[in-house]
């Protein structure tokens, strides 16, 4: 037994848990390849009025996000009742079923007449089920990692969650391209979309297999009065010398096992929720969900648009998320969040300026500029800068913060609320972008630039919020996090102040 623990074991457990993040990213991007097919197969045959057709199409594309809200909401209580590992196992099983079902929604349901566009109802049901799995995994994976990682490397290890997300995004862009390559657009409408959605069953199966092999976290074992098991695991994770002291720290913070949500004041919950909200209202998913479509608007073919999405969006996110991995425990959480927010603000405001001044023309999406217009390359550059700004900061670091800032005794409930808020805002941003970008009233005044002004201003507000309210958690043991939110006394108000650093 090593006196310094087993870094290899910690890394292996981290990789296993991050498969939950891979599913998150995979599902985020897989839908971008099938948006046209969903409309073609389930909406157009209904011959609805334009407004109704647009609403139904948007609902079918984004409804998984509502499932994510449900999944994130139940993940907290579930993680407390049956454990982090068991919760991830259930998430993997749900996602496996939903992936196959979304690709082939007629299966079984055809006996009830669910064929053709009538299969929309089971399709929506499977997408909601998949969203529940993603919502659960998005909360449980970083929690699992944070609870098995030593403080000195916890930030770096939790950023693996975001690396897994962007790897999932990049991977599925290439998978979608490979499925579609060499075929016509008609093939996408009839066959390829099924393979794209069903392909997510492969990483789901891997998550199930890995979760059957890993242990529970020490903190959950203590929560359930399984101290001997927790001590044995801590000896493997942090070494003989640190195992007993770490166990005592965990027991001290869990002496009441779980506490009321506002035990440490309301500010800790508000900060967690706003970190989630700002991560979404800076507009990242308005870019990711419509990536292939925006490249088509630049004149690319369907197949080429899928390839461009993989290169410009996926690779950029992957590279700059890796930068966060190696800097979050050196530079700290706050500097990265502030720098990233400012970069995103400049990029989005500049993009809005390009559209507002009619320097680029657009039909939909940030790169929907006329091919051959030199300013369209400035628009593309602004999008890339925006993505890199998000990728080294608000993408990975928010997950680090959410896994750290909540004291042990309220972490499950508080993190569940914060992640649910993230998915609610994700749905709002994803559903309002087409409304803003397609509004004749707004376009007459901003020429498709309004949405980007909004995202840029929100990014600026995010930087101010971090400067003023978010504490630095770099290097702190999870058991000392509650000191950041310590009440001034027994009669202190609900809103407490983070410790000055």
pLDDT in tens, 339-376: 999 999 999 999 888 777 766 555 444 444 433 455 56
221 shares a domain with 210: no
116 shares a domain with 24: yes
CA distances in angstroms from 72 to 213, 262, 263, 412, 420, listed in the order given: 24, 19, 22, 10, 5
Of 234, 255, 276, the residue at which a domain comes to its end is: 255
DSSP state of 189: I
What is the total count of domains within the chain?
3
419 shares a domain with 327: yes
For 416-425, what is the mean pLDDT? Answer: 85
**Which has more confidence, 302 or 276?**
276
Show the domain range for 249: 217-255
> Hey, is 76 helix, strand or coil?
helix
pLDDT confidence of residue 99: 94
The winner for highest mean pLDDT among 44-58, 247-261, 356-370 is 44-58
What is the residue whose two structure tokens read 């998978």?
175
Mark 20-47 as b/e (b = at least 16 C-beta within 10 Å): bbbbbbbbbbbbbbbbbbbbbbbbeeee
* Angular region, 13: left φ>0, alpha ψ -120 to 50, beta rest: alpha
145 shares a domain with 242: no
470, HSE (Cβ side, Cα atoms, 13 Å): 30
> Hey, is 362 helix, strand or coil?
coil
Dihedral sign for Cα atoms in the order 354, 360, 363, 365: negative
501 shares a domain with 458: yes
pLDDT band at residue 301 using 50, 70 and 90 as cut-offs: low
pLDDT band at residue 495 using 50, 70 and 90 as cut-offs: very low
User: pTM above the 0.75 mark?
Assistant: no
d(CA 307, CA 296): 11
CATH number at residue 467: 1.20.1250.20
pLDDT confidence of residue 295: 57
279 shares a domain with 156: no
235 shares a domain with 141: no
What is the residue whose two structure tokens read 């005794």?
409
Residue 457, judged by CB atoms within 10 A of its CB (0-12, 13-18, 19+), counts as middle
173 shares a domain with 221: no
pLDDT higher than 50, residue 57: yes
24 shares a domain with 68: yes
The counts of H helices and E strands in the chain are 24, 0
pLDDT band at residue 15 using 50, 70 and 90 as cut-offs: confident
245 shares a domain with 318: no
336 shares a domain with 425: yes
For 236-242, what is the mean pLDDT? Answer: 80
Q: Would you say 470 and 395 are in contact if contact means Cβ atoms under 8 Å apart? A: no
Dihedral sign for Cα atoms in the order 32, 36, 41, 46: positive
284 shares a domain with 229: no
């Amino acid at each position: 037994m090593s006196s310094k623990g087993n870094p290899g074991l910690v890394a292996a457990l981290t990789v296993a848990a991050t498969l939950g993040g891979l599913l998150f990213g995979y599902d985020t991007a897989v839908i971008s390849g099938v948006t046209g097919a969903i409309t073609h197969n389930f909406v157009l045959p209904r011959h609805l009025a334009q407004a109704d057709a647009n609403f139904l199409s948007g609902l079918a594309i984004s409804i998984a996000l509502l499932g994510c809200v449900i999944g994130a909401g139940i993940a907290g209580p579930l993680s407390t009742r049956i454990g982090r590992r068991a919760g991830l196992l259930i998430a993997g099983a749900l996602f496996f079923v939903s992936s196959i079902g979304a690709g082939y929604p007629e299966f079984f349901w055809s006996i009830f007449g669910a064929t053709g566009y009538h299969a929309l109802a089971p399709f929506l049901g499977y997408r909601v089920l998949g969203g529940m799995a993603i919502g659960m995994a998005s909360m449980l994976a970083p929690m699992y990692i944070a609870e098995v990682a030593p403080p000195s490397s916890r930030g770096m290890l939790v950023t693996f969650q975001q690396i897994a997300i962007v790897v999932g995004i990049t991977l599925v862009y290439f998978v979608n391209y490979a499925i579609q390559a060499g075929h016509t657009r008609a093939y996408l409408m009839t066959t390829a979309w099924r393979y794209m959605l069903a392909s997510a069953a492969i990483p789901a199966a891997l998550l199930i297999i890995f979760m059957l092999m890993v242990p529970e976290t020490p903190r959950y074992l203590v929560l359930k009065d399984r101290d001997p098991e927790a001590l044995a695991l801590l000896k493997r994770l942090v070494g003989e010398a640190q195992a007993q002291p770490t166990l005592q720290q965990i027991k001290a913070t869990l002496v009441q096992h779980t506490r009321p949500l506002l035990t440490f004041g309301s500010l800790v919950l508000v900060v967690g929720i706003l970190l989630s909200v700002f991560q979404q209202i800076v507009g990242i998913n308005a870019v990711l969900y419509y990536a292939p479509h925006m490249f088509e608007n630049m004149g690319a073919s369907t197949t080429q648009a899928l390839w461009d999405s993989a290169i410009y969006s996926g690779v950029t996110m992957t590279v700059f998320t890796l930068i966060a991995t190696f800097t979050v425990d050196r530079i700290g959480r706050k500097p990265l969040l502030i720098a990233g927010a400012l970069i995103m603000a400049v990029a989005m405001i500049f993009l809005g300026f390009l559209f507002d001044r009619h320097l680029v023309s657009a039909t939909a999406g940030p790169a929907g500029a006329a091919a051959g217009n030199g300013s369209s390359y400035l628009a593309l550059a602004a999008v890339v800068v925006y993505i890199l700004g998000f990728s080294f900061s608000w993408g990975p670091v928010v997950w680090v913060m959410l896994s750290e800032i909540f004291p042990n005794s309220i972490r499950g409930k508080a993190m569940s609320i914060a992640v649910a808020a993230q998915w609610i805002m994700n749905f709002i941003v994803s559903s309002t972008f087409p409304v803003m970008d397609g509004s004749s009233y707004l376009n007459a005044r901003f020429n498709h630039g309004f949405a980007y002004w909004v995202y840029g201003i929100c990014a600026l507000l995010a930087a101010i919020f971090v400067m003023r309210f978010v504490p630095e958690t770099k290097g702190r043991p999870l058991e000392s996090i509650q000191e950041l939110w310590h009440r001034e006394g027994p009669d202190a108000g609900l809103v407490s102040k983070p410790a000055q650093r």
